[in-house]
Structure 1
């Protein structure tokens, strides 16, 4: 399923070189920052592995990130997705209604925006094989390389928890 989706993504990227370059650049930045690592295929494969398909989302109206990579943890293979089987965890975020009520009690509110928030949280090494993906840098005739996330992936149902 992930290999088929990689082919589809590459076909879409071939239609627009600017988007393709941004997509490849985003993955290169993930690698340079240590968010992903390349898997040595000579190593023994772990018992549990999941490959996340990915695709571009293009937002020309955005000032900063016009091309974003989305990893699809809801994609199904034999009727199962990563989001179906992964432990979500307890809710740690405050209820929005309670947060809004606090605005009435306190005259000052502080907010912040943490860049690449989820990518700041490390995935335990034993769980990383469940966050693999395939990529071959737009070289269609080359066998895809395997990569693995070392940090939490946005759009996986456990990310906010």
Structure 2
């Protein structure tokens, strides 16, 4: 999947091991404040292990990496494990566009839902709600959100 979107200028590129340092850096930069807020420890090694076990896609604008997302799957859903957008591309539609790409993947694969987890104090949950994801539960730190595709008319 590398087709671009003429309207937004974004396209996807499947990531390689060469993209790991970019992904780790942007994730740490974007998420460290949430980790600190909940007294969680950021660990590069844990990130690297998780990255290796997921399907990772770079969000690219022209030739510039704008962010990435990581996916996993089971029979119940396509899971967004990470969705990170570089600060320069935030509030420019990259996150919304990326979610649209994931939803399209889930529909093509006939997955019943798209799921993700977000820190309770992360304003990205507002984007997820606008894209149709609804809260399904949570804990002290996180909200679990889901977009049910099995009943949608597409």
Q: Structure 2-normalised TM-score?
A: 0.30
Q: If each structure's strand is expressed as a fraction of its own residues, which one has the higher value?
A: 2
Higher relative contact order (CA 8 A, sep 6+): 1
